[in-house]
Amino acid sequence: MIKNIMMTPADKIDPYQHLPVMVEEVLSYLAPKENEVFVDGTLGMAGHSIRILEKIGSKGLLVGMDRDEQSLSIARERLQEFAHQCHFVHKDFRYIDEVLADLNIQKVDGILLDLGISSFQLDNPRRGFSLRSSGPLDMRMDQNAAISAYDLVNSLSEKEIAAILKEFGEERWAGRIARGIVSERSKRPIENTDELSDIVVRSVPFHGKPQRLHPATRTFQAFRIAVNHELETLDIVIDKCVSHLRPKGRLGIISFHSLEDRIVKNKFKMFQRAGIVEPLVKKPIRPTDEEVEINPRARSARFRVLERNV
C-alpha cells in the first residue's frame, strides 16, 4: 500500500498554471448575484470560485469543498482576501449534505462541480495520475484514503481487473491487459506508472497507425475512477445537490468523459420528468476553439446545468 506522500520543494508544481475550464460559461449559466450562497464542491485551485466570489459580493457566502488537502490549502491561500465569507472544507463532495448541515445552511443558490483533474495534480509525478511520467501508482484524490492504484493493480484477480478496465475505461482490450498485469506482477509488484503503461502497450495489438490516445489512457482512467469511487460518488451527489437548491437555484456540472456525462444527463432527465428541475441546455456546452487552443486539456469538457423549479 502506498503511504501518504509529503511534498518536498522539488515536488512543488506551480498551481497558478492551472487554467479553469469554461469560466465565462459557468458564470453565465450559474448567474451568481449579490448576497447569494454558492457551493464549489470541487474547489481545486479556486479558479471558478474566485470569479463567483467577485459576483456575490462581500455579503455573499462560498462553501469550498475538496478532498485533495493540498489543493484546498492552495485555494485558501489564493482566496485570502475573501476569507471572511468562505468556508473551506476538506471533504469529498458526496458529503455535501453533512457539510451544509454542520454550517446550518438549509438551501443554496448555486452549486458547481468540476469533475476534472487539475494540472496541479496531473503534472506532479508523485500523485500517479499521469501515464507520461514515472511516479508511484497512487491516483488517490484524497491522500488519506486507504486504497491506492497500487493496491488494485497488485491484489485484484485477473477477472476483477478486466471488469474495472471494461466498465470504467471502456477498454476494448481489457482481457489482454488484465492478463498482462497479472503475469508481470507474478514476477514482482508493479509499483510505478511507467511500468503499468509499458505493460498496457505490450498487451494491446499494434496496427501500425498513429493513435489519438496513448494506449494506456483508458487503463489509467479506469483505475483512477475505481480508486476514487468517482461514478458512484457522482450518482449520489446529484440527488443531494438538487435537494439543497432553492427555487431558481442552479446546479452546474463539468464532466470530462462519456461515463460521467451519461450519469449527469440521465439524472437531470429524471428530475426533469418529476417536475423538480429544468435543464437550461439541451446539449452539453463545449469549450470554444479558442479556449482549447490555449488549454488543450479543456478539449473533452462538457458542461450541463439545471435550474430548480420548486
Report the relative pairing of strands 61-65 and 37-40 from DSSP bridges.
parallel
Q: Is residue 91 one of the residues assigned to a domain?
A: yes
- Which pLDDT score, from 0 to 100, does residue 208 have? 55
Q: Is residue 9 one of the residues assigned to a domain?
A: no
Residues 116 and 242 in one domain: yes
Q: Is residue 2 one of the residues assigned to a domain?
A: no
Of the three residues 173, 201, 228, the one that is the final residue of a domain is: 228
- Which pLDDT score, from 0 to 100, does residue 209 have? 56
- Three-state DSSP state, 250: strand
Q: Is residue 6 one of the residues assigned to a domain?
A: no
How far is C-alpha 285 from the chain's CA centre? 17
Question: For residue 193, what is the domain's CATH number?
Answer: 1.10.150.170
Q: Is residue 139 one of the residues assigned to a domain?
A: yes
Q: Which three cell numbers stand for residue 16?
A: 497558478
Q: Which three cell numbers stand for residue 174?
A: 481489457
Of the three residues 173, 199, 228, the one that is the final residue of a domain is: 228
Residues 111 and 237 in one domain: yes
Q: Which three cell numbers stand for residue 147?
A: 486504497
Q: What pTM does this model have?
A: 0.89
**Tens-place pLDDT, residues 43-56:** 998 999 999 999 99
Q: Is residue 47 one of the residues assigned to a domain?
A: yes
Of the three residues 173, 207, 228, the one that is the final residue of a domain is: 228
Give me the residues of the chain with pLDDT under 50, please: 1-16
Closest CA to 138 of 200, 196, 66: 196
The DSSP bridge partners found for residue 307 are 250, 278
Task: Please name the residues in contact with 87: beta carbons below 8 A apart, sequence gap of 6 or more.
Answer: 61, 62, 63, 64, 103
Closest CA to 45 of 84, 74, 7: 74
Q: Give me the domain span that covers residue 223.
A: 125-228
Residues 115 and 238 in one domain: yes
Task: Please name the residues in contact with 200: beta carbons below 8 A apart, sequence gap of 6 or more.
Answer: 177, 180, 215, 216, 219
Q: Which three cell numbers stand for residue 190?
A: 508493479
- Three-state DSSP state, 198: helix
Closest CA to 1 of 146, 122, 183: 146
Residues 96 and 240 in one domain: yes
- Which pLDDT score, from 0 to 100, does residue 181 have? 98
- Which pLDDT score, from 0 to 100, does residue 234 have? 97
Question: For residue 36, what is the domain's CATH number?
Answer: 3.40.50.150
- Which pLDDT score, from 0 to 100, does residue 16 have? 47
Residues 181 and 151 in one domain: yes
Residues 116 and 177 in one domain: no
Residues 75 and 205 in one domain: no
- Which pLDDT score, from 0 to 100, does residue 120 have? 73
Q: Is residue 11 one of the residues assigned to a domain?
A: no
